């Protein structure tokens, strides 16, 4: 409206004379004047707009950089550039002149520029250290059948292998070992196990609570219940973990009489405590935002309060509830402290009353002590990338599911 | 509100200016590394600073690996470590500053075997420990205890204690996959105090609420109690060193003085206060 008022007086004189040309001219004028107006007549708004744009851009760039960094650190595993074999070829310090420079450089893992700058006695010192490390390998392991195997090969990361000392092929995560074993499966299953348990406990409870609070409860109850449940999300996960470690583990052991006190079941229940407020809060919002006319229409057709809630409001809000579950899943699979405190036996089993070690727990617990740039370090970054992949996939699936639901219940995409 | 903000900002600026001046005036020693050693290092720093007000010592943890990385990047002067430096880390140090880092032994740590207080077992051999922790022996009955499965509590594989135990007790073999890994000695004790079937290991000076088993080197040798006398005297079989590493180029002046003080009688007296054991006299010279 304002734009028209401003520009209107100028072309109005031409209107009578030029007739047919008027429309085009008016449009051109409006565009050029309008553009200038946007930038100069409201400078503060302009600055705010650009600032907001910059902030959102930074967030996107930050995500990109984080992923690029993780990818960069994990990449050598993809290309088979990492070698974790216990016994590797040794170049004796006195033989330094017998080998081409290229070979020495690769052997010491130095970059081209660093190698050039390095004095020869430093190179010899490096060779000495490598030779000493080789000498220190216990004799019993030197002739192990797996001593020359690069255990960061994909074959060993995913498939079971019969290591010496084991009586059958096993999936095993023993990264700190003479022969490091980096099989991902125990960690992946541990993550899935605890996350599914957490979701399984959290979703029915929180969705039921959301239906009750938003549709059935008296306003006085709703006003108390909602903030209290949401207050749950303010509990730090380390506190939940501590509570689970000391109180819940003993409590459930007395009920179920299982052998292992700290297990995936306890971790799952503890995880659900951190997931419940998220799922509750988002699905409650989704249920509350269903238009009042839907419920009134249902009442008019003679349905009870419960029928209106269950058969009309819940289906209408189902896309929102699904979104809540997906966010809850993301929270559960990314949760670190609770599972790390409650259980972390890297056992490969689907038994919920046995221990579990999640991907997040492995990264958190092991990162601080690894040799930077070593195979274990690279593997942990690869696990981080894998975790990102999991949540990314879950989000994509959920997005498409939500779109389908919307189509079904609202008739639009 | 506005005045409060101004005061806070002014205060922050003033204090940071003040701090930087202090830092410039005094020698600052940065210490980083093992979480096992962080409390001991802080205590050392506290006492040393109160006696030498012109020296500032900043202690942070993060893990031995983090400490070695900082030593390579030369962002720390001293690196605390609960394990020996690895070949790959020595190489990185040589590549960074052309020399091997100097190693100082700074304390002894005795490791106890913990079981629940209701467990009738009193002593155990090193060989039995190997069988238990590798998962070959799975029931207390096989050790003369009640008929109940053994639940193993271990440390995280990032811990120096874990590596030490694996190398010396398990002779390099893998821990049983069912071993519960706990984030710290306190967590192990907490778990075993509540679990009648549990067994675990950790610092000998810790452990209220659990039973410490007497350890035999082999079936015929006497069972030794993990006391200070036995650990320092070397009769108790499970113990290890704790280390501090330093870039040899920096090992002079205030830093060298501090390192000497740590290994003096005065510094070693503090070791006992935080749950480790002083070095025997003959090991203090390097």
Is the pLDDT confidence value at B171 over 60?
yes
Give me the architecture of the B109-239 domain, per CATH: 3-Layer(aba) Sandwich (3.40)
Q: Which two tokens stand for residue A44?
A: 């503060």
Residue keyed to tokens 């002894």: B108
* A9 pLDDT above the threshold of 50: no
- Residue A214's pLDDT is 92
> Which of A153, A292, A271, A295 is closest to A203 using CA atoms?
A271
Question: Which candidate from A122, A250, A365 shows the least CB-CB separation from B94?
Answer: A122
pLDDT band for A20, please (50, 70, 90 cuts).
very low
pLDDT attached to residue A383: 93
* DSSP single-letter state for residue B169: T
Q: What is the DSSP code (8-state) at residue B219?
A: T
A68-82, A106-120, A218-232: range with highest mean pLDDT: A218-232
The predicted pLDDT at position B45 comes to: 94
Cβ contact, residue pair A129, B90, below 8 Å: yes
Give the integer Cα–Cα distance in Å for B131 and B49.
47
Mean pLDDT (chain B) is: 85
Asked whether the predicted pLDDT for residue B7 surpasses 80, the reply is: no
Q: What is the pLDDT of residues B250-266, one digit of tens each?
A: 888 889 999 999 999 99
Asked if pLDDT for residue A8 goes beyond 50, the answer is: no
Residue A38's pLDDT is what? 56
B173 contacts A365? CB cut-off 8 A: no
Q: What's the angle, vertex CA B161, arms to CA B206 and CA B226, rounded to 5? A: 40
pLDDT at B24 > cutoff 70: no
Most distant CA atoms of chain B, gap in Å: 78
Tell me yes or no: is domain A185-410 CATH 1.10.3720.10.
yes
**What is residue B1's predicted lDDT score, i.e. its pLDDT?**
47
Give the pLDDT confidence score for residue B76 in this predicted structure: 92
10 Å CB burial of residue A224 (0-12, 13-18, 19+) is exposed
Chain A segment 332-391 residues within 8 A of B by beta carbon are 340-341, 343-348, 354-355, 357, 365-374
Average pLDDT of every residue of chain A:
84
pLDDT at B18: 47
At A360, the pLDDT band (50, 70, 90 cuts) reads very high
A328–B contact, CB cutoff 8 A: no
> What is the number of alpha carbons within 13 Å of residue A229 lying toward its C-beta?
27
Angle at A42 between CA A38 and CA A44, to 5 degrees: 120
Q: What pLDDT digit, counting tens, does each position of A129-138 carry?
A: 888 888 878 7
Interface of B with A in 192-221 (CB under 8 A): 194-195, 197-198
Q: Are A279 and A328 in contact (CB under 8 A)?
A: yes
Locate the domains of chain A by residue range.
2-78, 88-136, 185-410
User: Which of B158, B187, B190, B192 should we substitute to test contact with A (largest number of A Cβ atoms within 10 Å)?
Assistant: B158
Residue B62's SS3 state is strand
Quick: pLDDT tens for A193-237. Answer: 999 999 999 999 999 999 999 999 999 999 999 999 888 888 999
Quote the distance between the C-alpha of residue A402 and its chain's center.
Answer: 20
How confident is the model over A269-287, as a mean pLDDT?
Answer: 93
Q: Closest Cα to residue B107, out of B247, B254, B239? A: B239
Please tell me the distance in Å from A86's CA to the nearest CA on chain B.
12
CB–CB of A177 and B166 under 8 A?
Answer: yes
> What Rg, from alpha-carbon coordinates, does chain A have?
31
Select the more confidently predicted residue: B64 or A24. B64
Question: Quick one: DSSP state of residue B247?
Answer: -
- What's residue B2's pLDDT? 53
Query: How many angstroms separate the CA atoms of B213 and A196, rounded?
Result: 40
Distance from CA of B43 to the nearest CA of A (A): 23
pLDDT tens for each residue of A325-357: 988 998 899 999 999 888 888 888 899 898 899
Quick one: pLDDT at residue B282? Answer: 75
Mention every residue, 6+ apart, whose C-beta is less than 8 A from residue A22.
Answer: A11, A14, A15
A&B contacts, CB < 8 Å: 134
Structure confidence at residue A194 (pLDDT): 94
pLDDT band at B163 (very low <50, low <70, confident <90, very high): confident
Task: State yes or no: pLDDT of A373 exceeds 50.
Answer: yes
Chain B nearest C-alpha distance from A186 (Å): 10
User: Is the per-residue pLDDT at B187 higher than 70?
Assistant: yes
**Better pLDDT: B220 or A96:** B220
Distances (CA, A) of B63 to A321, A369, B34, B202: 42, 5, 4, 17
* Contact (CB<8Å) B158/A346: no
CB A280 within 8 A of CB A239: no
Rounded to 10 degrees, the C-alpha dihedral A220/A223/A228/A233 comes to 160
Residues 173-192 of A with CB under 8 A from B: 173-178, 181, 186
| CA-closest candidate to residue A343, choices B265, B219, B178, B262 | B178
Q: Using the beta-carbon criterion (under 8 Å), do B181 and A346 form an inter-chain contact?
A: yes
Q: Do the Cβ atoms of A270 and A197 come closer than 8 Å?
A: no
Q: So what's the pLDDT on residue B5?
A: 59
Tell whether the model's pLDDT for residue A255 goes beyond 60.
yes
Residue A12 has pLDDT above 80, yes or no: no
What does residue B182 show for φ and ψ, rounded to 5 degrees? -110, 150
- Residue B207 burial (10 A CB sphere; 0-12, 13-18, 19+): buried
Interface residue A143 vs chain B (CB under 8 A): no
Which residues are paired to B155 by β-bridges? B182
Cα-to-chain-centroid distance, residue B141: 33
Name which CATH class applies to B2-108+241-283: alpha beta
Using a CB-CB distance cutoff of 8 angstroms, which residues of chain B are in contact with residue A341?
A: 183, 187
Cross-chain residue pair A108–B162, CB shorter than 8 Å: no
In chain B, what are the domain boundaries?
A: 2-108+241-283, 109-239
* A246–B190 CB contact, under 8 Å: yes
**Choice between B16 and A188, residue whose per-residue pLDDT is larger:** A188
pLDDT at residue A5 in the model:
42
CB A225 within 8 A of CB A217: yes
Q: What is the mean pLDDT of residues A150-170?
A: 87
């Amino acid at each position: 409206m304002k734009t028209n008022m401003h520009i209107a007086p100028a072309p109005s004189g031409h209107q009578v004379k030029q007739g047919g040309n008027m429309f085009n001219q008016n449009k051109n004028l409006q565009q050029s004047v309008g553009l200038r107006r946007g930038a100069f007549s409201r400078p503060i708004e302009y600055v705010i707009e650009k600032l907001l744009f910059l902030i959102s851009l930074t967030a996107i760039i930050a995500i990109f950089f984080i992923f690029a960094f993780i990818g960069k650190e994990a990449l050598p595993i993809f290309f088979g550039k990492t070698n974790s074999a216990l016994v590797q070829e040794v170049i004796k310090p006195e033989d330094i002149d017998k080998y081409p420079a290229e070979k020495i450089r690769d052997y010491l893992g130095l970059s081209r520029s660093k190698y050039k700058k390095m004095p020869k006695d430093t190179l010899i010192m490096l060779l000495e250290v490598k030779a000493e490390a080789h000498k220190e390998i216990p004799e019993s392991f030197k002739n192990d059948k797996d001593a020359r195997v690069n255990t960061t090969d994909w074959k060993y990361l995913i498939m079971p292998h019969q290591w010496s000392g084991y009586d059958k092929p096993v999936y095993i995560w023993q990264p700190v070992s003479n022969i490091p074993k980096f099989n991902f499966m125990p960690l992946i299953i541990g993550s899935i196990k605890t996350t599914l348990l957490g979701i399984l406990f959290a979703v029915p409870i929180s969705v039921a609570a959301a239906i009750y609070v938003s549709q059935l409860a008296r306003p006085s109850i709703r006003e108390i219940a909602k903030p209290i449940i949401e207050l749950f999300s303010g509990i730090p996960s380390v506190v939940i973990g501590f509570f689970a470690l000391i109180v819940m583990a003993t409590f459930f052991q007395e009920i179920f009489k299982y052998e292992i006190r700290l297990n995936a079941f306890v971790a799952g229940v503890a995880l659900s405590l951190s997931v419940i407020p998220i799922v509750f809060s988002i699905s409650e919002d989704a249920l509350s935002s269903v238009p009042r006319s839907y419920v009134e229409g249902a009442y008019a057709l003679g349905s009870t309060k419960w029928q209106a809630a269950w058969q009309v409001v819940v289906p209408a809000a189902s896309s929102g509830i699904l979104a809540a579950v997906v966010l809850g899943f993301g929270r559960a699979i990314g949760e670190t402290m609770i599972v790390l405190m409650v259980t972390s036996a890297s056992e490969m089993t689907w038994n919920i009353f046995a221990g579990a070690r999640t991907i997040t727990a492995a990264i958190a617990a092991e990162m601080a002590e690894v040799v930077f740039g070593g195979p274990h370090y690279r593997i942990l970054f690869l696990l981080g990338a894998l975790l990102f992949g999991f949540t990314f996939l879950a989000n994509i699936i959920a997005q498409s599911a939500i779109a389908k639901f919307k189509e079904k219940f609202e008739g639009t995409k | 509100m506005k005045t409060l903000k101004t005061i806070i900002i002014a205060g922050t600026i003033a204090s940071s200016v003040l701090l930087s001046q202090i830092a410039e005036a005094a020698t600052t020693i940065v210490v980083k590394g093992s979480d096992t050693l962080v409390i001991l290092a802080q205590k050392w720093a506290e006492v040393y600073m109160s006696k030498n007000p012109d020296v500032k010592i900043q202690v942070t943890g993060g893990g031995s690996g983090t400490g070695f990385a900082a030593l390579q990047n030369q962002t720390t002067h001293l690196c605390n470590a609960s394990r020996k430096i690895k070949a790959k880390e020595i190489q990185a140090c040589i590549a960074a500053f052309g020399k091997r880092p100097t190693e100082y032994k700074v304390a002894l740590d005795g490791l106890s075997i913990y079981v629940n207080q209701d467990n009738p077992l009193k002593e155990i051999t090193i060989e039995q420990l190997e069988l238990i922790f590798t998962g070959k022996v799975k029931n207390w009955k096989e050790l003369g205890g009640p008929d109940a499965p053994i639940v193993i509590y271990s440390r995280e594989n990032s811990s120096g204690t874990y590596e030490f135990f694996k190398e010396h007790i398990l002779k390099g073999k893998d821990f049983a996959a069912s071993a519960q890994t706990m984030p710290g000695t306190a967590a192990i004790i907490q778990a075993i105090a509540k679990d009648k079937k549990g067994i675990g290991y950790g610092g000998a000076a810790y452990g209220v609420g659990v039973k410490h088993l007497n350890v035999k080197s082999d079936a015929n040798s006497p069972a030794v109690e993990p006391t200070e006398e036995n650990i320092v005297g070397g009769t108790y079989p499970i113990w290890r060193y704790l280390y501090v590493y330093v870039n040899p180029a920096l090992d002079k002046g205030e830093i060298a003085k501090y390192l000497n003080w740590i290994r003096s009688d005065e510094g070693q007296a503090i070791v006992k206060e935080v749950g480790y054991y002083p070095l025997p006299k003959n090991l203090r010279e390097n």
